[in-house]
Amino acid sequence: MQYRTIAGTDLRVSLLGFGNFVFGANWWGQFTDDDAVRLQNQAFDLGVNFFDTAAVYGDGRAEQLLARTIQYAGRENLVISTKFGYDFYSDPDKGSQRERKQDFSPAFLRQDLEQSLRRLNIECVDLYQGHNLKLPQFHDDLFDTLEKFVRQGKIRHFGVALGPAIGWREEGYKAFLERGAAVVQTVFNLYEQDPGREFCQIAEHRGCGGVIARVPTNSGILDEEFSSDQHVFPSGDHRRFRDRNWLVYGLKKNAIVRPMAAKLGLSLPQFAFQWLASFPSLASIEPNLLNLEQVRQFAWASDAPPLPAEIIEELNDLYERDFDLGPDAHPCAWKSSVAPGGTIRSSFQDPTPVLSAHAQA
């Protein structure tokens, strides 16, 4: 297992992270409590020390399951992250896929943190992330409260987890440049490279902070989960809401990339994992880990030789050209807090001018 220290912190995290959100909903199948804990424990046995959960996952269930792995592994051997901001106490899960009620007030944060500490059965959270925090919610009293938690020893560092959909560029920039976030978590993968790539450049330029990549296999495309672009998603599968071109052209991109992975003796998901690992400020990668074989596959990839520079350059060139598949193969539109209509076309924005302006200010 490879471990990386998040710059500017004392957090040394496994490159392969375990996000136990898969136990907070039935989107990825049903897991008994014992099955879930067993898989978490097996991940620890294979070198995973970074476990990322959230209060809202399963309305507290995922945190309670993680508490059992903390007991198994020993608190001192783990880096524990959880998230805050969804008021599931007054807005419980009724089986829908709508976004739940949020509350980032100081009073709710205090309540939410105490409940998380109780469910996790720990005294301090290593990393506390604002869950799908949006630009209008970046209030001084929120971050003043987080700083107070640090001084009280209830959390060690804080960050933001952006979502639920891909995008929210302005939130990531603001978190790093104005609020001193230790991490920005975002959808980031070989076929959806930005804004994650931009966040990595900002963290590297600052010399502090790290990026956590979620959805690293492009919602199952790079897992080779689908054999046909006619795949029909069941009603409970959140991916049925994705742009259909994501599936149609994702399979075409796989056909281009697969031979490159095979030459290196890598599966396609391992290849995609290694591409993410090529970013120095990428702290941890969180694929959906549903069984022991997947944990083993990614644990091996996390300590494999890095991708050759010429392969990375070729991949970047292909991405810039939409893999020569035409405009319909372009990554899906992003969500935005500032754009009219709330969405923008995905694109790379060189963060250098923003960094320069921030330094001058």
The segments of the chain whose pLDDT lies below 50 read none
Read off the pLDDT of residues 139-155 as tens digits, 9 standing for 90 and up: 999 999 999 999 999 99
Q: How far apart are CA 327 and CA 123, in angstroms?
A: 51
Residue numbers of the domain that contains 298 = 3-360
Read off the pLDDT of residues 74-117 as tens digits, 9 standing for 90 and up: 999 999 999 999 988 887 765 556 677 899 999 999 999 999 99
CATH code of the domain containing 124: 3.20.20.100
Strand blocks (E) in 90-209: 125-131, 155-161, 183-187
pLDDT score of 15? 98
pLDDT score of 230? 87
Is-contact 252 228, C-beta < 8 A? no
Q: How far apart are CA 360 and CA 206, in angstroms?
A: 14
* Domain count along the chain: 1
Q: How far apart are CA 349 and CA 361, in angstroms?
A: 20
Write down the pTM of the prediction. 0.94
pLDDT score of 58? 84
Exposure string of 38-58, with b = 16+ CB inside 10 Å and e = fewer, is: bbbbbbbebbbbbbbbbbbbb
pLDDT score of 151? 97
Long-range contact list for 147-150, CB < 8 A, 24+ apart?
149/109, 149/113
Cis status of the peptide bond prior to 164, with omega within 30 of 0:
yes
| Chain centre distance of CA 341 | 25
Q: How far apart are CA 134 and CA 163, in angstroms?
A: 9
